[in-house]
Amino acid sequence: MSLGTDFVVIGSGVAGLRASIALAASGANVTVLTKDKASESNTEYAQGGVAVVLSDDDNDELHEEDTLVAGAGLCDPEAVETLVTDGTKYIKELIDWGIEFDREGGKLSFTQEAAHSRRRILHAHGDSTGKEIVRSLIARAGREKRINLLPFANTESLIVEGGRCTGVQFLDPILRAPRSIRAKAVILCTGGAGQLYQHTTNPSVATGDGMAMAYFAGAEMADMEFVQFHPTALSLEGAPRFLLSEAMRGEGGVLRNVKGERFMGGYDERLEMAPRDIVSRSIVAEMRRTGSRNVFLDMTAINGEFLKERFPKIYETCKFYGLDITADLLPVSPASHYCMGGVRTDLHGRSTLPGLYAAGEVSCTGVHGANRLASNSLLEGLVFGARAGEAAVADESGPGRAIAVSDAGKVARPDEITTRSTGGSEISTAVRKRVKRVMWERVGILRDGESLRRAITEFDHIASANLSTSSRKFVTLATLVAKAALWREESRGAHFRTDFPEPIEAWRVHSVQKLGGSIFRAGRIDPNSVSATSNAEARA
């Protein structure tokens, strides 16, 4: 049975909700599919806050420069400028819609995080910023009668007809049977793929389904090798890898090894406020040097009442596991956190597959480069979610546009693509465990050619079995990350090769992967089109 709507949005995090609101504002009917409850997404777990230029001592140029520096030479400047300049507008819009950011004396309260030159991070309810943004956006979307939120509807594949995305196939949450929805266009806002790794701060829904669906449908994927590992996830037996916010170091927390020594001075002059990739690698190096499984985050020099008020959720969670953040050293180690790569888009969310748009962590505009600046992700979801919704409406009401230029300079119109599988919407436990272990051990924080090749071989072996659709997507996504990491023979941002430990100017390019082809390198993504300024075939 096939349903109809004007537009389909997959995902109900900040990008999906903001895209839906933009679509509904144009008078379109929107169906929002999410595989869990509407509030369950990476957005809800974002603690630290959202970076935005609103304080008196800040400006756009400073925020842009901080983003470019963190991105290690691979950010697209036009994307960064769009993020920063439009970001202020959309945050002010959220405030007008009733979001409750924390204030001091009636004025917005800002904190600082690693690699930011100013205190520009807004937060809500201490350390529940993402949850408050989702609450605000769901409330706003609820006032739009044209938005239909459909929770617990697991999207299984994109429908591609005549080289265009025309809808989705999903599992009906009531009938527990496959159904399809036809639409003018589909906007992917499915988040990242942190669950590819054995240790992650991401919720269980972050399995990269949207990325894999787009890849199988024929869309180009970019920069898949760049996976950010958060330095400070709670590392306690029997406890989840709960995120201990970057803002804790921004408020004065320090890192100590198992001997109680503060160690970051031996790795970077910026100490605990160095970019995330540097702090994560420093922690791994220190754990290896001392033969330990974790280091410690020390907050004990900071006023205890302030910590309880500033980080209430973290305080209560740690307390549940027998830790007092005001008095105890908190055991931490890195965990996978964010994907800089994803579905390749222009600055309006258009993918290389006509009719398919993407925004938020599932996409790759080049705004984060090789390493995302802390607290830019919520801003990205707001800005590019809105832009994708607006572009989808404009494109469908206009004369149409050939935007899918392939590496050969021709319009890419992939035929409908199907995958060999046994059906099923669940990733098998055996496949999940095996892939996560291999990714952590061989495609993790420190990489080398031999380990990456062994990982790819193992993934190929897993893929040779008769897998469910979801299991095949999971293995395929892991393979894309590993192949891109093997292809990039340098170290840059979050991608560190022990056999190529330095950045190389010749590799200051985006990696692009497409179904049925080898990896090719691309220059800067044009802000008005997904065609690259220079493409050249490269080694797979």
At 467-491, the pLDDT tens digits run 998 999 999 999 999 999 999 999 9
Output 402 or 450, whichever has higher pLDDT: 450
DSSP 295-335: EEEE-TTS-HHHHHHHSHHHHHHHHHTT--TTTSEEEEEEE
According to the model, what pLDDT value does residue 113 have? 79
Radius of gyration (Cα) for the chain, nearest Å?
22
Mean pLDDT of the chain, nearest integer? 88
For the domain spanning 248-333, the CATH number is 3.90.700.10
- CB-based burial label for 237 (10 Å; 0-12, 13-18, 19+): exposed
- The kind and range of the H/E element at 363 are strand 363-364
| 188 bridge partner residues | 10, 358
pLDDT for 461: 96
Q: How confident is the model at residue 359 (pLDDT cuts 50, 70, 90)?
A: very high
Q: How many residues does the chain have?
A: 540
Q: Which of 500, 524, 456, 414 is nearest to 79 (CA)?
A: 524
pLDDT over 60 (residue 44): no
Query: Which residues are marked as active site?
Result: 276
Distances 346 to 196, 235, 366, 436 between C-alpha atoms, Å? 26, 38, 9, 31
Mean pLDDT, range 21-43, rounded to an integer: 81
pLDDT of residue 524 exceeding 80: no
Helix (H, G, I), strand (E, B) or coil at 281: helix
pLDDT for 47 equals 54
- pLDDT tens for each residue of 206-229: 999 999 999 999 999 999 999 999
pLDDT bucket at 492, cuts 50 / 70 / 90: very high
Annotated domain spans of the chain: 248-333
Tokens 């842009």 belong to 64
The rounded Cα 415 to chain-centroid distance in angstroms is 28
- Which residues, in sequence order, are bridge partners of residue 157? 169
> What is the average pLDDT across 187-197?
96
pLDDT at 32 over 70: yes
Q: Confidence band (pLDDT; 50, 70, 90) for 419?
A: very low
Q: Is the pLDDT reported for residue 441 higher than 90?
A: yes
DSSP designation for 235: -
Kindly tell me the burial class for residue 55, based on how many C-beta atoms sit within 10 Å of its own C-beta (0-12, 13-18, 19 or more): middle
Percent of the chain at pLDDT above 90? Answer: 71
pTM of the predicted model as reported, rounded to 2 decimal places: 0.89
pLDDT, position 412? 29
Alpha helices in 177-231 (DSSP H): 209-217
What pLDDT, on a 0 to 100 scale, did the predictor assign at position 418?
A: 36
For residue 38, what pLDDT band results from cuts at 50, 70 and 90? low
Q: 365-417 pLDDT, tens per residue?
A: 999 999 999 889 999 999 999 999 999 999 987 544 433 323 322 222 333 33
Give the DSSP H/E element, type plus range, for residue 110.
strand 110-111
The pLDDT score that the predictor gives to residue 427 is 81
Q: Considering only residues 518 and 46, tell me which one the structure prediction assigns the higher pLDDT.
A: 518
Q: How many CB atoms lie within 10 A of CB 286?
A: 22
